[in-house]
């Protein structure tokens, strides 16, 4: 049976995965921008990406220990869907795009505040 902790881990994965994608886009934007001194910005963003990767690796360990396998994401106009199996049970974690966006922004702010 799928527990609430399992769904929470999947939600954390969704937020962290999308946070990494957003940070990567931000890095590309800085690299392609006309800022004359890019290194401090690039180093800062790379540090945030590295720390987000560390969190994601730890989360993958937890998911693996609980027998959770997340499949490929699906998007539509309003929602983001992550189908997953958990110890033989199938479920789909759905997040509304506006809720996901809010959570990603909160996660990025958290990464910046922690001063990693």
**Higher pLDDT, residue 114 or 11:** 11
Check whether 26 has a pLDDT greater than 80. yes
Average pLDDT over residues 13-20: 91
pLDDT tens readout for residues 29-84: 888 887 777 788 788 888 889 988 999 999 999 999 999 998 888 888 888 888 89
What percentage of residues in the chain have a pLDDT greater than 70?
Answer: 97
Which pLDDT band, with edges at 50, 70 and 90, does 115 fall under? low
Check residue 75 and report its DSSP letter: E
Pair type for strands 89-96 and 79-86: antiparallel
Average pLDDT over residues 88-98: 88
Tokens describing residue 75: 């998007």
CB 108 within 8 A of CB 25: no
**Global pTM value:** 0.83
């Amino acid at each position: 049976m799928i527990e609430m902790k399992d769904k929470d881990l999947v939600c954390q994965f969704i937020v962290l995965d999308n946070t990494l994608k957003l940070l990567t886009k931000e890095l590309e934007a800085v690299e392609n921008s006309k800022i004359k001194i890019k290194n401090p910005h690039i180093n800062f963003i790379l540090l945030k990406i590295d720390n987000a990767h560390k969190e994601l690796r730890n989360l993958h360990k937890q998911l693996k220990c609980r027998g959770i396998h997340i499949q490929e994401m699906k998007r539509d106009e309003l929602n983001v869907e992550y189908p997953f199996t958990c110890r033989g049970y199938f479920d789909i974690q759905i997040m509304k795009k506006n809720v996901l966006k809010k959570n990603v922004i909160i996660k990025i702010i958290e990464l910046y505040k922690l001063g990693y």
